[in-house]
Amino acid sequence: MTFSGQVALVTGAGNGIGRATAQAFAAEGLKVVVSDVDVAGGEGTVALIREAGGDATFIRCDVTRDAEVQALMAGVVEAYGRLDYAFNNAGIEIEKGRVAEGNEAEFDAIMNVNVKGVWLCMKYELPLIMAQGGGAIVNTASVAGLGAAPKMSIYAASKHAVIGLTKSAAIEYAKKKIRVNAVCPAVIDTDMYRRAHEADPTKANFVAAMHPVGRIGKVEEIAAAVMYLCSDNAAFTTGHSLAVDGGSTAI
């Protein structure tokens, strides 16, 4: 990995996968801009990075708002003068019903964060990365973006859209030396997951058993995949959707 002196932006970095990836970037010597709507979580991530000897700055941003995303990018330049890598991780998952049971508010919320948010971030990240002569972007999709997700059809549609955005941007900017890939996690051990299953260990065991490896994933395992996709080791990889799923999509 050859990241020293470079700058990475991570959205949705206040906890979970985003926090773990921000920490991984910092551990490799990058300066990291941590962004989230959760101020306490984002500042907590910065504190952890600084305690470990890294360099990080928090900038609050609602990725669904064009003006806030533009302000985020301006903040990146003001703090560190450049942008080399971006992990567009901010996303929500709030739907638990069949197609005919959904509602417009859920649809709008999921699509605004998961799709519009990724599109807006890439829209303003790409010129900054081009100014450095190239770099890499990774978007958080999901195994739900690689197939069906019963009772989460809107969420699945949003992640299919993220993969479409990823592939399209990868082709558009390939000759600009910007690689654009997606990471597609299965179920990962995050605070959100624990809140949903801590009251029902039986359900948690069932979810773990859905993965051929017999367990759910760790946030550090997704962070490692993002780091690989950003690294020179993946210099010939673009437009790819990397499943990190314990074998679940191989069934």
Which are the catalytic amino acids? 155
Handedness of CA 62, 67, 71, 74 (dihedral sign): positive
Radius of gyration of the CA atoms of the chain, in A: 17
CB-CB contact of 57 with 35 (8 Å): no
Terminus-to-terminus CA distance in the chain, angstroms? 33
Distance from C-alpha of 187 to C-alpha of 79, rounded to nearest angstrom: 34
Other Cβ atoms closer than 10 A to 146 = 20
Distance from C-alpha of 82 to C-alpha of 57, rounded to nearest angstrom: 13
Token pair for 12: 């949705």
Distance from C-alpha of 59 to C-alpha of 68, rounded to nearest angstrom: 10
